[in-house]
Chain A
């Protein structure tokens, strides 16, 4: 655990800070994440995900759960009509052992507007309302672009790994 705290403490702390409203909350997220890691290390399979992605996933789970509890007032916004999505296998493979360059390559295949929203959300840590204010896009559009963009990135990464060769990529 000493190794994990030393090597991944910064990652977990950085994720926690994005979602927490204050230092105390971020501290709770960090503690809960490492507790989860302690409990679930036996589930870690390096053929499924890299160490950093696995730990990042645990931190995101805790952080988003925290943010959900804090908000308690979901914003209701109708989504735009459904657009065509890439074909999705009913049982997609869970494995996603991608490296940084794969992620960057996948993101570059997204439409420019989606790339911009991804950058604001994942890079600058903006919330949806902040992205709406920054871009002038409707909230529903921001949500849809993020959701479909995430699905597209997953599909592209699978294709890069040769898992789902038939999947179409981003529009």
Chain B
């Protein structure tokens, strides 16, 4: 696929992501193209969708029920200590005062936003792992920064007894990596490896952790975990061999390796 064709395809997939209608194969394709092109979320498409939906809804808007409005008003003040990230520009006490004066609130928010120019909205549109970081570097960075790291060793099934590996995962960052050694190279046009994350707190069905390849001649490979759905309490990580592009629900005909989270 040419670069221009890839960009067009990515844009179409991004529109699908924003409309909430990507299937599993398309989600995997979105992730691959995102890494290949170094592109992430497209804010302008998301704003277009929001503008359309907002415009239609305003004609038939339903008032927020009083009990829910009261609940929101009660809950919001509980956030007295927000994350002190650079993205949180307005400190909570200031925020609360500002919203007693709506016009001032938006004006000052705009001023702060302008001071930080273009930054934060576009930052959110970038992929979480900058393309210049290799998988190894990104994994090492995760090891340094994650305070809730889960680590577990992979054990190969009978046919894959020669492989070994480790998985690291952070619930808070929703980021993880597998370091796999002696896993046989696959032929991407015939089959691909797919990771599944078992998270009983979420669902009895495993969550897709992304499709990946092991290139020939590579003894050890570091593979980023790509989970389109949030995982909060992983109990196990399972690698299967599936058809190219992966599957939505694995029949687990070829289970390659398993790592139980302790």
Give A contacts to B, CB under 8 Å. 1-7, 9-15, 17-18, 27, 30-31, 34-35, 38-54, 56-57, 60-61, 64, 67-69, 72-77, 82, 85, 88, 90, 92-96, 98, 100, 103-104, 107, 118-119, 122-123, 128, 143-144, 146-148, 150-151, 153-154, 157-158
Contact = CB atoms under 8 A, between A and B. Distances in A.
26 contacts: A1-B76, A1-B95, A9-B69, A10-B61, A11-B58, A11-B61, A38-B76, A39-B79, A41-B90, A41-B95, A41-B109, A44-B110, A45-B113, A48-B121, A56-B51, A57-B46, A57-B47, A69-B229, A74-B27, A82-B12, A103-B51, A104-B55, A122-B56, A144-B12, A146-B19, A153-B52
A45 B114 contact: yes
A52 B51 CA distance: 8
Contacts of B35: none
Q: Give the interface SS of chain B, mostly helix, strand, loop or mixed.
A: helix
B89 interface: yes
B84 to A, nearest CB: 12
The 8 closest A-B pairs by CB, nearest first: A42-B89, A9-B64, A56-B54, A3-B102, A57-B50, A64-B20, A147-B15, A154-B48
Given A2-B100, A38-B76, A13 B7 contact: no
Contact of A56 (B53, B109, B120): B53
Q: Give the interface SS of chain A, mostly helix, strand, loop or mixed.
A: helix
Given A69-B229, A74-B22, 13 more contacts: A1-B73, A2-B99, A34-B72, A39-B82, A42-B87, A42-B90, A48-B43, A56-B54, A96-B51, A122-B56, A150-B48, A151-B12, A151-B45
Contacts of B159: none
A27 B68 contact: yes
Contact of B205 (A31, A38, A72, A151): A72
B249 to A, nearest CB: 8
Interface string B145-179: 00000000000000000000000000000000000
B142 interface: no
A1 to B, nearest CB: 5
Contact of B52 (A3, A43, A51, A118): A118
Contacts of A74: 22-24, 27, 248
Contacts of B44: 92-96, 154, 158
